[in-house]
Amino acid sequence: MTILNEGKDIFLYQGDTGNITFKKLPTDKNYNVYLSIYNPDENTIIKELQGTYTQAAGVVLFSVSEDISNSLPVGDWVYGLKICSGGSEDTLLPRAYIDESGALIKEPAPKFTVDYKVVEGN
């Protein structure tokens, strides 16, 4: 398992398996939670995953299989995280908010790096 998500950035090798976890999500509704890997140069979503959300804990787990990681193109991408419930959709990452002066602040999207498979294994 070489899926690293220290801080907000995520790194994985093609072919590796593991989990990506996010904590401290809102717990007021039973959300569907999505993680999209995004190519900002082409303005396209490369892959979108739906996670397993535990409402009581406010935690979502995205399971990455070998097939999923092999399907991701090598490169430096970004990702977004969205919660959905009852027709409402809210993007949590990248974060956008209004500061104390009333200015719109748009934080940069966190990185999602995919590197070449270096060992085949089985």
Higher pLDDT, 89 or 4: 89
46 pLDDT more than 90: yes
Report the chain's mean pLDDT, rounded to a whole number: 94
Percent of the chain with pLDDT over 90: 89
SS (H, E, C) the chain: CCEECCCCCEEEECCCCEEEEECCCCCCCCCEEEEEEEECCCCEEEEEEECEEECCCCEEEEEECHHHHHHCCCEEEEEEEEEEECCEEEEEECCEEECCCCCEEECCCCEEEEECCCCCCC
User: Above pLDDT 70, what percent of the chain?
Assistant: 99
Check residues 116 and 121 and name the one with the higher pLDDT: 116
Determine the average pLDDT of the residues in 19-38: 97
The structure's pTM equals 0.92
